[in-house]
Amino acid sequence: MKLFGRTDILFDGDDASRFLPWLIAFMVFLAVFAIAGSVALNKVAQNWVQGIEDAMTVQIPAGDDAAQLERQVRRATAALKSVNGVKFVQVISNEDIQRQLAPWLGEASNTADLPLPGVLEIIVDRLSQRLSAIVPGAVVDDHRAWISGVVSAIRSTELLAILIIILIAAATVGTVIFTTRAGLALHRQAIELLHLTGARDVYIARQFATRAFFLGLRGGAIGLALAIPALALVSLIMSRLETSLIPNLAPGIAGWVLILLLMPLVALIAMITARFTVIKTLTGIV
């Protein structure tokens, strides 16, 4: 093949030249989305930990008397500001509460008949337990108490994405081994002739490895050409959704670097695998 430079084995009639790039392209396509998903989940976990680990929410139940609720909110605000360790206290407006309820309640969140509690957002180092004595019925939501469970679930899903990438790499290795062995069987007569002329196994393995490298590059390029526009389209659609519950798959600079490295990485994996397979097969170990 002209693409691989000088070769003593005619690979033009080898089916691996047609099928291996497309199989690798499929693996690269899946790996791109696995990497993007892993990066997105990691970003979500970091944002949640950094944004909520020192935050708490105080909810004062709504009653029939709006004026009484307002007085309780003022008393709770004053009490919290006097607590050692409280760095920030802010009363959440009804408009903000309705906006946060909108994804679950829809238009019902904007009705005046909906009883809304008084909500205080606070940033703390530590919080005294005397608030409940000042405002009976106040509920303190320590975000750190439940965020650890959510982050653990995200980390588990992130590990699953990494496991998928590992399985994709293993499947790529298996595919290259299979096609290389098929090529050895197909070109058996040419290989025997090379042995008779004094060619060593390393020389023959180098030719198979070079072919696998360029086939891997071709497959990686096809996979990226298909995956990058698809990933960009999915990211655009998700960015237009008016919800923060779904992470954006835009991988960022680090993610794009990993994605672009897939093409040379998969080519190197194919080359090393093919070389190892040829040497082991020709020496009779496998």
Contact between 282 and 200 (Cβ < 8 Å): no
Domain count along the chain: 2
Tell me, yes or no, whether 54 lies in a domain.
no
Does 157 lie in the same domain as 23?
yes
- Cα distance between residue 87 and residue 234, in whole Å: 40
Q: Which residue, 97, 114, 137, sits at the end of a domain?
A: 137
Token pair in block for residue 128: 């005294």
Q: What is the pLDDT of residue 144?
A: 57
- Cα distance between residue 145 and residue 143, in whole Å: 5
User: Which residue in 185, 183, 204, 208 sits closest to 195, CA to CA?
Assistant: 204
Q: Which of 34-48, 113-127, 135-149 has the highest mean pLDDT?
A: 34-48
Does 122 lie in the same domain as 78?
yes
Residue-number span of the structural domain to which 19 is assigned: 2-49+148-282
- Residue 55: count of CB within 10 angstroms of its CB: 16
Q: Per-residue pLDDT for 184 more than 50?
A: yes
Q: Per-residue pLDDT for 227 more than 80?
A: yes
Does 43 lie in the same domain as 23?
yes
Least reliable range by pLDDT among 128-137, 148-157, 200-209, 222-231: 128-137
Tell me, yes or no, whether 107 lies in a domain.
yes
Contacts of 161 (CB under 8 A, 6+ apart): 34, 35, 37, 38, 41
Does 228 lie in the same domain as 184?
yes
Does 130 lie in the same domain as 11?
no
Distance of alpha carbon 1 from its chain centroid, rounded? 39
Does 127 lie in the same domain as 87?
yes
Q: What is the mean pLDDT of the chain?
A: 77
- Cα distance between residue 145 and residue 150, in whole Å: 10
Q: Per-residue pLDDT for 128 more than 90?
A: no
Q: Which residue, 85, 113, 137, sits at the end of a domain?
A: 137
Q: What is the pLDDT of residue 149?
A: 65
Tell me, yes or no, whether 55 lies in a domain.
no
φ/ψ of residue 197, rounded to 5:
-85, 5
The tens digit of pLDDT for each residue in 265-283 reads 999 999 999 999 999 888 8
Contact between 176 and 273 (Cβ < 8 Å): yes
Does 235 lie in the same domain as 99?
no
Tell me, yes or no, whether 84 lies in a domain.
yes
Q: What is the pLDDT of residue 112?
A: 60
H helix runs in the chain, sequence order: 16-52, 66-81, 94-105, 131-134, 143-186, 188-196, 201-240, 252-260, 262-282
Q: What is the pLDDT of residue 271?
A: 93
1 confidence band (pLDDT: 50, 70, 90): very low
Contacts of 84 (CB under 8 A, 6+ apart): 126, 128
Q: What is the pLDDT of residue 262?
A: 92
Does 66 lie in the same domain as 38?
no
The tens digit of pLDDT for each residue in 17-41 reads 778 899 999 999 999 998 888 888 7
The dihedral built from the CA positions of residue 128, 134, 136 and 140, taken in this order, carries a sign that is negative
Q: What is the pLDDT of residue 223?
A: 94
Tell me, yes or no, whether 227 lies in a domain.
yes
Does 275 lie in the same domain as 236?
yes
Sole residue written with tokens 């980390």: 155
Contact between 266 and 165 (Cβ < 8 Å): no
Instruction: Return the ∠ at Cα 68 (arms to 64 and 74), rounded to 5°.
Output: 140
Q: Which residue, 116, 137, 158, sits at the end of a domain?
A: 137
Q: What is the pLDDT of residue 40?
A: 81
- Cα distance between residue 285 and residue 92, in whole Å: 72
285 confidence band (pLDDT: 50, 70, 90): very low
Average pLDDT over residues 195-219: 88
Q: What is the pLDDT of residue 268?
A: 94
Does 67 lie in the same domain as 45?
no
Tell me, yes or no, whether 20 lies in a domain.
yes
Q: Per-residue pLDDT for 244 more than 70?
A: no
The tens digit of pLDDT for each residue in 77-112 reads 888 777 776 777 878 877 777 777 766 666 655 656
Does 96 lie in the same domain as 189?
no
Does 223 lie in the same domain as 89?
no
Q: Per-residue pLDDT for 42 more than 70?
A: yes
φ/ψ of residue 15, rounded to 5:
-65, -20
Tell me, yes or no, whether 142 lies in a domain.
no
Tell me, yes or no, whether 143 lies in a domain.
no
DSSP class of residue 113 equals: T
Average pLDDT over residues 156-164: 84
